[in-house]
Amino acid sequence: MIPPLVIALLAAALPLFGAGAKHIANYDIDVTLTSDHKLRGTETLTWWNDSPDTVATLQFHLYLNAFKNSRSTFFRESGGQLRSDKAEGDHWGWIDVTSMKIRQGADLTRKIVFIQPDDANLDDQTVIEVPLPEPVKPGGTIQLDIAFHAQLPKVYARTGWHGTFHLVGQWYPKLGVWETAGMRGRAQPGWNCHQFHANSEFYSNFGRYKVRLTVPAEMVVGATGELRDKQSGGGAAKTATYTFYQEDVTDFAWTAQPNFVRLERMFEAARETEPKEIAEIAKLHGISEREAGLSDVRMILLLQPEHQRQAERHFKALAAAIKWFGLWYGRYPYKTITVVDPPYGGGGAGGMEYPTFITAGTRYSLPEDVNLILEEVVVHEFGHQFWKELVATNEFEEPPLDEGFNSYSTSRIMDKVYGKTALPVSVLGFNAWSLLGLPKVGRDSLNRAVSFSDLRLDSLIRPAWLYYDSTSYGINSYPRTHVTLRTLEGLLGAKTFARAMRAYHQKWRFGHPCARDFQAVVNEVSGKDMNWFFDQFFHGARLLDYAVGEVAVTEQLTPFGFFDQGADKKLVTRKDAAAQDEKAEKDKKLKQWEGVVKIRRLEDAIVPVEIEIRFEDGHIERKYWDGSYRWVRYNFLRPARIVSVEIDPNRKLQLDLSYANNSWQERYNSGLSTHWTGQALFWAQNILLWLSAI
């Protein structure tokens, strides 16, 4: 039975589903791509001040200036590198605002100044501020006409060109987010408009985008939203203008390349989902089957010619993502999704997400039975439509709410659709793990292996540029969040956690929540105060490690000496005691064993845990320890020996640093097990890192 509070929470969120987003920042853009990879554009921005504040300035992101020179904050922090891709040569990128005017009003161009809200780097030009002659009052709007021109960099970090390929992201003057007091825990109202950092991504208001892209006529184009019109240009220039439109999104990105192979498939909801699946989702969440159902989606694939044989793999993975993200969290609300396959040499544009538009990456034509890297990238990048584009958290300040939530969801889908082997890499048709003599390692185990390094350096939730280094950013934002959510799922139970995740998504769809908002939803849906968990593992950096400290099993021999019997004393001689013990040896029912089990908490995190003690006669004792003190002792007197002790037998606590010390078995060489388990995870981790770099 679903608690009434859960039904009420979901019901309160349902109007958001059909209502869409508040259109705070709306863009009407005309841009031309030239043969030398330059952009010339005009932009009409209409901004609605839906806050109770009077706003006297505007702040904009000029992301392309991150690629302007080696003095930008992005370049200083990254060294001109993102993942395995590096900046080479002198192919820089930049953007200039050549004009900014209030519609039928003042010219603001000369009032524009560069600001650095995050650091003291006066050379960074990725944020501008402009004072207004008259502030925008609560509920008021302002409309600006902006002209800009830009140079795309050679791609190595999400945006740019390679040969004739163009991936155009973070390319136009983009308004920051005005946050009023109380929004996402903010103390004072103000602009949230961070500089472009090496590790952070993006945060924007929802709005409407109408964008006209003029490109050389031979280009094949894909973009955010629906294609509304295509016109051929006149004259000798031989251009084409594409008009795209999309509502309820936070950004716009596009691509152009002459030799893209453009393919389409329809995700037909009635064919891809079974009535039983819809009914199960509806029952779980207390909603109607109509509400649990999905919508049809046009799947567009822009593929490199040499990768055409992998088209069906892209479509299969994309359909699986649309289905399961939709069933679990709510239907995908847009009519299209475009997947871009960058060319060899343009991999810096791969593995990235924008509204209704994602990039994957297929550098090697490996079949599905050899690896699932292609599929995992497609599922993961589509997942950002839910964790970032629809639930638009601030990736600058709380990156795990996007990347980590999506990593958790991606792993669940990959396990469900493709099986629970994390790296199904085979050699000549044989499983690579078997060839190496290693046990199969699932995604949970790999995430745990990668997570448990440098954990004391940072809390999970932290501004992206303030983690100790890029490794700490990566571990916390991806695998450690996955492991933390799996632990929360184990503590709450799979059904309750599933309800909490959907309730959170529905409540904050087209909104801007923070970690505390997720925490509040979990508490409401579960009916429990889980603040202790969030304080330790989201906002703190505590480590969890339980261990079997000691197990002692002693045969109970017959005591000898004088024993009181009322007013008298009875002597039990040594001979009498030995005879009784000999009798018990022949009749096992008479024998008694004393068992002492000590469980230790090795680290500083405190989590309730289950301990399972098994006896030789098949009897099982289960103890529940709150973990508050450093150790606990359990004593047993039974006619059977203890044969095994297991901490957290159902592996609910994925955050436990070492499973190797969680168990004890009679006549069992735990040291050997620890050695080989450690070796397996070591090699699994290194293979994963190697594959992610190619």
Classify each residue of 356-395 as buried b or exposed e, where b means 16 or more C-beta atoms within 10 Å of its C-beta: bbbbbbbbeeeeeebbbbbbbbbbbbbbbbbbbbbbbbbb
Confidence band for 557, pLDDT divided at 50, 70 and 90: confident
Confidence check: pLDDT of 439 > 70:
no
Q: Are 606 and 559 in contact (CB under 8 A)?
A: no
Hey, what's the torsion of the CAs at 365, 369, 370, 376, to 10 degrees?
80
Confidence check: pLDDT of 251 > 50:
yes
Report which of 40, 205, 60 is spatially closest to residue 126, judged by C-alpha positions.
Answer: 60
Residue 585, pLDDT score: 73
Chain centroid to Cα 552, Å, comes to 44
Task: Calculate the alpha carbon distances from 625 to 531, 600, 602, 612 in Å.
Answer: 19, 11, 14, 11
Residue 588, pLDDT score: 66
Please report which residue ranges of 126-193 form alpha helices under DSSP H: none
Residue 424, pLDDT score: 47
- Angle ∠(568,571,577) on CA atoms, nearest 5: 140
Please report which residue ranges of 493-590 form alpha helices under DSSP H: 494-508, 515-526, 531-537, 574-586
Residue 368, pLDDT score: 61
Give the strand pairing for 357-359 and 336-340.
parallel
Residue 122, pLDDT score: 97
- Give the least confident one: 17-26, 245-254, 578-587: 578-587
Residue 675, pLDDT score: 39
Q: Which position has the token pair 């004593």?
A: 635
Q: Which position has the token pair 């297929």?
A: 362
Residue 233, pLDDT score: 83
More confident residue, 692 or 319: 319
- Give the least confident one: 279-288, 420-429, 570-579: 420-429
What do you get for the CA distance between the two ends of the chain, in Å? 48
Phi, psi torsion values for 221, nearest 5 degrees: -120, 140
> What DSSP string describes 90-123?
T---EEEEEEEEETTS-B-GGG-EE--SSSS-TT
pLDDT digits over 5-20, tens only?
443 444 444 443 446 8
Residue 417, pLDDT score: 94
pLDDT digits over 498-533, tens only?
999 999 999 999 999 999 999 999 999 999 999 999
Q: How many CB atoms lie within 10 A of CB 407?
A: 24
Confidence band for 622, pLDDT divided at 50, 70 and 90: very high
pLDDT digits over 196-248, tens only?
999 988 999 999 999 999 999 999 999 999 999 999 987 777 999 999 999 99
Residue 517, pLDDT score: 97
Confidence check: pLDDT of 682 > 90:
no
Task: Calculate the alpha carbon distances from 282 to 113, 577, 626 in Å.
Answer: 53, 68, 35
Mean pLDDT of the region 534-558: 92
Residue 441, pLDDT score: 67
- Give the least confident one: 30-39, 97-106, 286-295, 662-671: 662-671
Chain mean pLDDT for the chain: 89
More confident residue, 101 or 541: 101
- Give the least confident one: 416-420, 463-467, 498-502: 416-420
What are 497's two structure tokens? Answer: 């956690």
This prediction has a pTM of: 0.90
Confidence band for 571, pLDDT divided at 50, 70 and 90: confident
Residue 690, pLDDT score: 38
Report which of 237, 84, 252 is spatially closest to residue 167, judged by C-alpha positions.
Answer: 252
Rounded distance between C-alpha atoms, residue 661 and residue 371, angstroms:
33
Mean pLDDT of the region 337-359: 95
Rounded distance between C-alpha atoms, residue 664 and residue 514, angstroms:
41
Confidence band for 438, pLDDT divided at 50, 70 and 90: low
Mean pLDDT of the region 373-383: 94
Residue 578, pLDDT score: 81
Q: How many residues does the chain have?
A: 694
More confident residue, 685 or 415: 415
Residue 237, pLDDT score: 74
Q: Are 21 and 206 in contact (CB under 8 A)?
A: yes
Type of residue at 400? P
Residue 9, pLDDT score: 42
Confidence check: pLDDT of 76 > 70:
yes
Rounded distance between C-alpha atoms, residue 432 and residue 410, angstroms:
23
Residue 569, pLDDT score: 84
What are 512's two structure tokens? Answer: 């801007």
Report which of 689, 647, 671, 664 is spatially closest to residue 449, judged by C-alpha positions.
Answer: 689
Rounded distance between C-alpha atoms, residue 600 and residue 633, angstroms:
9
Confidence check: pLDDT of 174 > 60:
yes
Rounded distance between C-alpha atoms, residue 445 and residue 442, angstroms:
5
Confidence check: pLDDT of 422 > 80:
no
Residue 683, pLDDT score: 43
Residue 421, pLDDT score: 66
The continuous run of DSSP H or E covering 240 comes out as: strand 239-249
Confidence check: pLDDT of 361 > 70:
yes
Phi, psi torsion values for 323, nearest 5 degrees: -65, -55
What are 490's two structure tokens? Answer: 């184990």
Mean pLDDT of the region 62-86: 92
Residue 13, pLDDT score: 42
- Angle ∠(516,518,520) on CA atoms, nearest 5: 70
Confidence check: pLDDT of 430 > 50:
no
